[in-house]
Amino acid sequence: MTESERYKHIKKLKDMIISCSGIGDCRIGFRPTVGRFGVCPSYEHSPGFEPYHARGKLRVLYGILEGTLEPSEELARIFFQCPTCGSCHAICHQSYDENINWFICNYIDHTKAWEAFRADLVEMGLAMPRHKELIQSIEENHNPYFEKHEDRIKWLSGRQFPEKADTLYYMGCTEPYRLPEYAQKMVEILDASGIEYTIAHPDEWCCGSIALRTGHLKIAKELAEHNVEAIQKKGVKNVVIHCAGCYRTFVKDYPEILGKELPFKVYHATEFFLDLVNQGKLKLTKNINKKLSYHDPCHIGRAAEIYEPPRELLKKIPGIELVELKRNRENAWCCGAGGGVKSAFPELAVEIAQDRIKEAEEIGVNTIVTACPFCVRNLRDSAQSLKKNEFNVIDILDLVTDAIEK
Amino acid sequence: MDLLKTIKEIVGPDYVSDADFIRQSYGKGIAGGLIEKRPDYVVRPHSVEEISEILKVANKEKIPIIPRGGGAGLLDGVLPPKEGGIVLDMTGMDEILDFNEDNLTVTVQCGITWAQLNTFLMERGYYTGSLGPGSGMSAVIGGGLSHHSVGGGGAAKYGAVTRHCVGLKVVLANGDIITTGSGASKYIKEPFSRWGLGPDLTSIFLGDQGIMGIKVEATLLIYPKPKYRSYRTFMIKRKAPKVVSKILLDYRKAGDLGIYDAFWLPDLSVAAGLGLIVSEFTVFKLWKEVNPKGKDVFFYTCEAESEEELEQNVKKLNELALQNKGVEMFGPEIEDGNIAKWHYEKNGHWQIYHGFWGAAGRGSIPQTAEHHIPIHQIPQMMDALSKWESENQDLLMKAGPAIHGLGSALLCDHTTVEMDSGLIVFNKPEFREINEKLWKSNLEMVVRSGGMPYMAGMRYSRALIDAGAFSDPYYNFLKAVKYALDPNGIISPGKFYLGGKE
């Protein structure tokens, strides 16, 4: 690697990195008026030195750009322990809302900076070993789970889909390989609405979220190019995605990676189903007598600002009592699974999710509903680690399928 | 002596580090563009006893100790004077130890943030009155008490935070642990006052810039949060320094009008805000419509226990403002341009002005010269700032250009006003030398013009000495107190040119 290639990803963000004014709200900001209680989940579960939260990370990147610091394995581990939840971005004076984000100030996109540095670390041979394995699996199998590509639709038991349709269900990897019941529920709901839809298999590959979050940009680009082309071939207008990570990657990252707008509209399942309910195509009539709280997944929440559709959809289900968690919407506490943390630092991911379980219990709720298979898995692992057998972690798909008029 | 091994034995291996990237991240203040000074070690203690043990070692070995809270100070208060030493990161000590409703006090560890504490208190109907510094979301109690903080809200009603501290637990340089205020008596179980057991020795550690000892616990008075609030915003079309000065003094002379905060945003700040309009931001959007030339803006918040009291006070406060020529009032709602209401009800904190720090352009940062003066001296100080700016125009241009002026001013204790003046400079290596020169000159100018540093840190405390503010007998007295408590000068060395090898 030549000198000019070193840190090429963070060099592009130099203006942003040196602009941190260093107030440090990204450590543990509380702002009750707007529902903000704490900021950084990885900091809260760390020894607490500065580089464990955003200000310290930016200072470290500054040092690297100035040539006063060299990356090390220890430093890399700290950067890879961040679930890239974007909470620091949401509270930062220089990015937290339109009021402060002035054009002559320098806007800081924190997660973009972390991901850029991860890409530099990967190119310097400092990737996390587990991430390298996952990437290898994606290259070999088109999924990070070391599963055979053809098994992506095993749960469909040979069902056939039309060659072309206006709508396509992009299933991602986690649901078909690890939580197939949710892939089945997606199909069940789409079937119940009576719309014609198809899937991209065998040409559906991993969306590349894991590659992007863990600094493997080259493969992420290849995956983006492949998936967009494969979906385009199906002649679809709408793509519906339930996996929050895939959704964010499609709507936020693909246009940036590919340098162009996508040739189809992408909907998160909660947005899409809410539309179907409002159009009368999907009827949710069965009473579900449940008190629960909605956990905002970071990938559709802070990353894509889908806060209300899941809540609206829940309100369409008879008998649901929705009690908001103290930290919700842009102030939501991350489950801890994102950014490659679940795979490389599983214990940390579970510890962070325990905060969320306790937060629900504090308001007398023993069911968390979310809209992301990653959050479901990690929150369930966490409830189990706390030996909370009576605590339920479900997905909004569970409630919708139960409420469908059959 | 293997210092790292010794400290590990005291705090545990996870809470001390000599890693270069950790030391680097503690080696810059908020004025991040200036010279970096890495400590040798960073330690995150979790008990008073751990701190005591660390100080015993440091005192014996004559190792500098730099206590650090939220790291939100603007004048390098948390940096070593040169490379080396131990930074004590106090943020691991953030417990609320005693919430005492019978005594209306709260005792906390000094590493808790003002926002964490006030969130806890407000959920129970109380607050600390003065809510800490403007950076109170990240700034901690210990730093606020060291800096005599204002700006986080409530300064007009309650004054600086130091007024409400009734006792401290402090670790001295030799490792001794003392309790000040009424807690100094072993027969008094609940701290409630600073006076009565001899001289007020708590005050030695208040506003001390962290040089006298390590504050580990503090007891603060708490107050019931009034139920009613009102906010109004005014445009000042002419002679703003004189008009603001008159309005604020009239408010004070009118007795208790329940005024909680009063802010002045000079035309420089308003113009910056107007230049940065985004369509969604209704306050600035309206300002653009009704205040297109970016005239000065003044706003207040007042509190009351009843609607009648509030109405009466608002009427009086508005009259006192509007009796001045060229003063116009915005409507009562956020949509009408009432930024005061926006601060409290939408933004949730007095922190908008931090956004101005980037106002000079990409990569710009603040080099503050915030100071206190009596209200009636606002016009003279504004003249002094203008004069300095004219004299340093060439240098300012060479620095990027850097911007100089007053960002905001707020009413504090009695007739004190905090003037948020200073520089906005570019955080680039090529400007560092010139930035240093400008900052030093600017701070000394404020001192010579009668300004009293708000937070002093390393920079202002030295500017006081460099500008010859202290008489020899006074400076000798300060030294005598410092070295009586810290004979080896290990705690926060360098401030006021005290301690260390200087």
Q: What is the 3-state secondary structure (H, E, C) of A267-286?
A: EEHHHHHHHHHHCCCCCECC
- Contact yes or no for B82/B63 (Cβ under 8 A): no
Look at residue A373 in the predicted model and tell me its pLDDT. 96
Q: Are residues B207 and B252 in the same domain?
A: no
Q: Does B44 contact A100 at a Cβ distance shorter than 8 Å? A: no
Element (H, E) at A266: strand A265-268
Amino acid at A253: D
Q: What is the CA B32 to chain-centroid distance, rounded?
A: 18
User: Mean of the pLDDT values across residues A117-124?
Assistant: 97
Nearest to A375, CA basis, from A77, A175, A189: A175
Cβ neighbors of A248 (< 8 A, separation 6 or more) are A209, A299, A300, A303, A304
Q: Are residues B388 and B459 in the same domain?
A: yes
With bands split at pLDDT 50, 70 and 90, how would you rate the model's confidence at B219?
A: very high
Residue B471 has pLDDT above 70, yes or no: yes
Cα dist. B467→B295, B449, B502 in Å? 34, 10, 18
Look at residue B361 in the predicted model and tell me its pLDDT. 58
Touching B: A residues 59-78, CB under 8 Å:
59-60, 62-63, 66, 68-70, 72, 74-75
Q: Does B30 contact A100 at a Cβ distance shorter than 8 Å? A: no
Q: Are residues B423 and B392 in the same domain?
A: yes
Q: Does A19 contact B280 at a Cβ distance shorter than 8 Å? A: no
Residue B343 has pLDDT above 50, yes or no: yes
Greatest distance between any 2 Cα atoms in chain A: 66
With bands split at pLDDT 50, 70 and 90, how would you rate the model's confidence at B272?
A: low
**B211: CATH:** 3.30.465.10
Contact list in B for residue A74 (CB cut-off 8 A) is 19, 21
With bands split at pLDDT 50, 70 and 90, how would you rate the model's confidence at A162?
A: very high
Look at residue B421 in the predicted model and tell me its pLDDT. 94
Residue B393 has pLDDT above 90, yes or no: yes
Q: Which DSSP category does B206 fall into?
A: S
Q: Are residues B241 and B345 in the same domain?
A: yes
Residue B97 has pLDDT above 70, yes or no: yes
Contact list in B for residue A330 (CB cut-off 8 A) is none
Amino acid at B387: K
From B91, B106, B133, the end of a domain falls on: B91
Q: Could you tell me if residue B32 is inside a domain?
A: yes
- Contact yes or no for A128/A214 (Cβ under 8 A): yes
Bridge partner list, B426: B364
Domain span including residue B62: 3-91
Touching B: A residues 24-53, CB under 8 Å:
24-25, 27-34, 36-37, 47-51
Angle of the A54-66 helix axis to the A73-80 helix axis, nearest 10: 140
**B366: CATH:** 3.30.70
Q: Could you tell me if residue B484 is inside a domain?
A: no
Q: Are residues B59 and B146 in the same domain?
A: no
Q: Could you tell me if residue B12 is inside a domain?
A: yes
**Rounded CA separation B401/B220 (Å):** 44
Our CA-based measurement puts residue B229 at a distance from the nearest CA of chain A, in whole angstroms, of 14
Q: Could you tell me if residue B103 is inside a domain?
A: yes
Element (H, E) at A36: strand A36-37
Q: Does B347 contact A23 at a Cβ distance shorter than 8 Å? A: no
CB pairs under 8 A between A and B: 173
Amino acid at A239: V
From B224, B239, B257, the end of a domain falls on: B224
The neighbour count for residue A187, using CB atoms within 10 Å, is 18
Q: Could you tell me if residue B477 is inside a domain?
A: no
Q: Are residues B120 and B173 in the same domain?
A: yes
- Which chain B residue has the Cα nearest residue A69? B21
Q: Are residues B101 and B191 in the same domain?
A: yes
Touching A: B residues 1-40, CB under 8 Å:
14-15, 17, 19-22, 24-30, 32-33, 36
pLDDT tens digits, A373-404? 999 999 999 999 999 999 999 999 999 999 99
**Rounded CA separation B111/B261 (Å):** 26
Look at residue B73 in the predicted model and tell me its pLDDT. 85
**Rounded CA separation A66/A56 (Å):** 15
Element (H, E) at B418: strand B416-426
Q: Does A60 contact B280 at a Cβ distance shorter than 8 Å? A: no
Touching A: B residues 328-347, CB under 8 Å:
344-347
Q: Could you tell me if residue B497 is inside a domain?
A: no
Bridge partner list, B167: B219
Can you list the domains of chain A with their CATH numbers? 8-126 (no CATH), 130-277 (3.40.50.1860), 281-403 (3.40.50.1860)
User: Mean of the pLDDT values across residues A283-296?
Assistant: 97
Our CA-based measurement puts residue A61 at a distance from the nearest CA of chain B, in whole angstroms, of 9
Contact list in A for residue B113 (CB cut-off 8 A) is 28, 30
Q: Are residues B97 and B219 in the same domain?
A: yes
Look at residue A103 in the predicted model and tell me its pLDDT. 43
Residue B52, classed as helix, strand or coil, is helix
Look at residue B76 in the predicted model and tell me its pLDDT. 86
Residue B462 has pLDDT above 60, yes or no: yes
Q: Are residues B114 and B199 in the same domain?
A: yes
With bands split at pLDDT 50, 70 and 90, how would you rate the model's confidence at B350?
A: very low
Residue B352 has pLDDT above 60, yes or no: no
Q: Does B137 contact A55 at a Cβ distance shorter than 8 Å? A: no
- Contact yes or no for A331/A90 (Cβ under 8 A): yes
Complete DSSP assignment for B273-309: HHTT--TT-HHHHHHHHH-TT--EEEEEEEEESSHHH
Look at residue B277 in the predicted model and tell me its pLDDT. 42
Nearest by CB to residue A63, choosing from B24, B359, B427, is B24
**Average model confidence (pLDDT) for chain A?**
94
Touching A: B residues 349-368, CB under 8 Å:
349, 351-352, 354-355, 357-366
Look at residue B358 in the predicted model and tell me its pLDDT. 52
Look at residue B279 in the predicted model and tell me its pLDDT. 41
- Contact yes or no for A324/A292 (Cβ under 8 A): no
pLDDT tens digits, A296-336? 999 999 999 999 999 999 999 999 999 999 999 999 999 99
Our CA-based measurement puts residue A46 at a distance from the nearest CA of chain B, in whole angstroms, of 9
Q: Are residues B453 and B405 in the same domain?
A: yes
With bands split at pLDDT 50, 70 and 90, how would you rate the model's confidence at A3?
A: confident
Complete DSSP assignment for A341-373: HHHH-HHHHHHHHHHHHHHHHHTT--EEEES-H
- Which chain B residue has the Cα nearest residue A79? B21
Q: Which residue has the tokens 């409507």?
A: B331
Q: Are residues B209 and B139 in the same domain?
A: yes
Q: Are residues B211 and B104 in the same domain?
A: yes
**Out of A271-275, B35-39, B62-66, B470-474, least confident range:** B35-39
The count of domains in chain B is 4
From B199, B224, B249, the end of a domain falls on: B224
Q: Kind of pairing, strands B327-329 and B177-179?
A: unpaired
**B340: CATH:** 3.30.70.3450
- Contact yes or no for B132/B163 (Cβ under 8 A): no
Our CA-based measurement puts residue A223 at a distance from the nearest CA of chain B, in whole angstroms, of 34
For the ranges A18-22, B476-480, B497-501, the one whose mean pLDDT is highest:
B476-480
Q: Could you tell me if residue B494 is inside a domain?
A: no
pLDDT tens digits, A93-110? 776 444 444 444 557 889
Q: Could you tell me if residue B72 is inside a domain?
A: yes
Nearest to A135, CA basis, from A228, A224, A83, A206: A206
Nearest by CB to residue B44, choosing from A15, A48, A60, is A48
**Rounded CA separation A12/A9 (Å):** 6
Q: Name the percent of chain A lying above pLDDT 90.
A: 87
Nearest by CB to residue B348, choosing from A21, A22, A34, is A34
Look at residue B477 in the predicted model and tell me its pLDDT. 98
Look at residue B500 in the predicted model and tell me its pLDDT. 72
